[in-house]
Structure 1
Amino acid sequence: MSTFLGESVTIIEGLENYRFQKEIPYPVELGHEPSGIVLDIGSEVKDFKIGDRVGGPIDGSFASHVVTIPKKLVKIPDSVENPEYCLAEPLGCISNMVRTARPEYGDFVAVIGCGTMGLLTLSALKQMPLQGLIAIDLQDSRLEWAKRLGAQFILNPKRDDCEQFIQDLTHNQGVDIAIEITGKLKGLEMASLIIRNASFYGYQGRGRIIASSFYAGDQIMSNTLGYQLMFKSPIVASVHPWHSLNFIEDVAKGVWGYQKHFLPLDQLVTHEFCLEDLAKGFEAASGKDIDYLKGVIIME
């Protein structure tokens, strides 16, 4: 099984892509986040055996077979329910984000963007003793998912004054942690508006903004975003796999979270396609289907 990443859609559409800073050199390998079975191993491979179910950060998996190296793989235990949906790489990204955020007892945490990654992040944070867990998204259907997975408060900026609500909720402090997963600078701007202030006049810990987007295209940083980042001086972490001190360890912890039902990725798969229908999958993943959360390619 393999799945779609946002960057794969931008490659197909010929748009800017983080792997290729200039013109995209076609043909390119596509396919991301695979889960599969080991069919053969090299003579020096010691940690895996034929028949193991594995996953990891591997590209080029829109194919029936993939060749890779052991250090990119983790085992998916036999005891895992619905193991085919245990897509290890995005689960590792959730582990990386939550561990970087370091939420503490009694914190207020907001997740901005309730696609698959935002919803999984909410589900992970639900396990922690937070004073308030807030979900923010423009789609009510995704906010309903957020509530189901543990959000205590749901906000839609199209009708809710998110900044005022959070000021009231936190006694004019702002959230301790804002996790931005929208792909848009407007999402980062929202994070900057609701994060707590640092203080000139006595210790008040800096808030933390966890930014997992790469803000593709010709997005422009607003004056509001620049001012809020300057004035509030939060810690801003660009949390991508390269940020992790040991991403494969994060991947293994993500698989553990799936096994324990903390990260219910199997519940969020809304679309399944065979390899021959790859074009339909890209169309759904491009945002044209508002019910799309996670699409997968099943190799028959």
Structure 2
Amino acid sequence: MSMNLTLNNGIEMPALGFGVFQTPPETTSSSVAAALRVGYRLIDTAASYFNEREVGEGIRRSGLDRSEVFIETKLWISDYGYDEALHAFDKSAGKLGVEQIDLLLLHQPLTTDFGRTVGAYKALETLLTDGRVRAIGVSNFMPGDLAVLLEQTDVVPAVNQVEVHPYFTQPEVQKANAEHGVLTQAWSPMGGITSYRGDSDRSTFNDPVIGEIADVHGKTPAQVMLRWHVQEGRSAIPKSVNPERIASNFDVFDFELSTAQLGAIDALNTGVRGGPDPVSVTLEAFHRDIPEA
């Protein structure tokens, strides 16, 4: 099982990455450095997480050469539109302290003004042509959003980062992605979002099906869930600020789930979304000023 995935433009990306959603800036750089120490080589952040600067610091602190770390970030809806998105790239690259970003995504479809979404994506295409990014993509795009985007743009997204975990697998989204050659990347890949939204008694971490599979392999439920993603061909970006869990989450390449075990995890899908419905993400409700520095 390869630790890398090949994107639709030939670029290689690690299957397992390290996410920093809701990681406070003051702990981000140390968490990133810890992740890189244990072997992660993909770091995922976003302009709207307000910790890109600290991600850059963590990468530099690791002592690794820039070429060894795959940096992924996302532009927020407040910076959509062609010129705005070009400027947003400059803001993100400046905070990260890099000249080139490996993978740049649009964080959400702005369904109430899809023209601005298309304009922002065309800016990503320009950045790709200019070599300022190595791959481009989207996040939280439903099949309809993807279809409209493809009609109006030239470059098929390399990645669509969406909520995927055992309790919410979005099979129709994964199918649409696959049909277009778009890699599905899972945010909240272990269903952490289910632990603090909705029924806290029903968590993926204490699910009996996942627990039983974990016992068979002598692994943790978290490791089983991450292995499930890797074996099904997805990228996953778990987050943690705990050094032991950061290391444990990366230790998923020495065992294999059976076809029956993969199917048992697939069958846990409830169809209930943990994050916001992409249609509800409007500028009125979700505007965030992304600072210059």
TM over 0.5: no
Structure possessing the higher radius of gyration over alpha carbons: 1
Tell me the TM-score normalized by structure 1: 0.28
Structure in which a larger fraction of residues adopt helix: 2
